[in-house]
């Protein structure tokens, strides 16, 4: 079972931004991953490290009855049409290169409708439609790591007219 070891009460915000870019706190991302992975018995721990324009993922997983230390690099991070995509590179376990199929099997075990994996290309796409309304179109121009933060510079985008929320119905009155 997955355990985080990170006290979420002392963490900075998950995201902060200014007009040109977002800053993603990797400690908070690890805490979110801990909650999402609690029910997945095959994943024991996940740690993140950022360097340059990529994020390295280090995990301890159970695969075919063995405890395996694995790592992969998330690179070419892009956002288009409310879908966050990235390429998996440098997949390793036990100090050797692992077949992409091993990571795909772990991602498939998540049974998460938000994830789509393009196996041959090593591309993972996360559907952010649950959080970004269809009227919002934003792209990522580039990504750069600084310490435990990932800085995401935004590219071109726009917001269409956002529909107003439906009017609330009044509760029935007593007669």
Q: Please give the residue that has the higher pLDDT: either 13 or 152.
A: 152
CA distance 69 to 60: 5
CA distance 103 to 88: 9
So what's the pLDDT on residue 10? 54
Residue-wise burial string across 51-86, b where 16 or more C-beta atoms lie within 10 A, e elsewhere: eeebbbbebebebeeeebebebbbbebbbeebebbb
So what's the pLDDT on residue 110? 66
Point out the least confidently predicted range of 64-68, 118-122, 171-175. 171-175
Percent of the chain at pLDDT > 90 equals 0
CA distance 164 to 151: 32
Question: Shortest CA distance to 43 belongs to which of 69, 74, 72?
Answer: 69
- Using pLDDT thresholds of 50, 70 and 90, give the confidence band for residue 140: confident
Domain chopping of the chain, boundaries: 11-158
Mean pLDDT comparison of 6-20, 136-150, 161-175, highest-scoring range: 136-150
* β-bridge pairing 83-93 and 96-97: antiparallel
Annotate 69-100 with DSSP letters as a single string: EEEEEEEEEEEETTEEEEEEEEEEETTEEPPH
- Using pLDDT thresholds of 50, 70 and 90, give the confidence band for residue 84: confident
Note the pLDDT tens digit of each residue in 17-31.
667 788 888 888 888
Q: Please give the residue that has the higher pLDDT: either 135 or 48.
A: 48
pTM of the entire structure? Answer: 0.66
Count the residues in the chain.
175
Q: Is the pLDDT of residue 145 over 80?
A: yes
15: β partners: 24
CA distance 136 to 37: 29
């Amino acid at each position: 079972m997955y355990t985080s070891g990170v006290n979420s009460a002392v963490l900075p915000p998950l995201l902060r931004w200014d007009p040109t870019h977002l800053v993603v706190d990797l400690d908070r991302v690890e805490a979110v991953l801990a909650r999402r992975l609690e029910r997945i018995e095959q994943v024991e721990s996940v740690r993140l490290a950022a360097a340059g324009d990529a994020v390295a993922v280090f995990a301890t997983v159970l695969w075919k009855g063995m405890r395996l230390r694995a790592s992969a690099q998330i690179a070419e991070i892009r956002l288009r049409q409310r879908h966050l995509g990235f390429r998996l590179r440098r997949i390793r376990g036990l100090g050797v290169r692992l077949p992409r199929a091993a990571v795909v099997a772990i991602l498939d075990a998540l049974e998460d409708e938000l994830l789509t994996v393009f196996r041959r290309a090593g591309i993972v796409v996360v559907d952010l439609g649950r959080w970004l309304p269809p009227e919002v179109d934003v792209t990522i121009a580039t990504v750069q790591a600084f310490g435990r933060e990932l800085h995401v510079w935004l590219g071109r985008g726009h917001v269409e007219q956002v529909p107003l929320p439906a009017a609330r119905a009044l509760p029935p009155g007593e007669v």
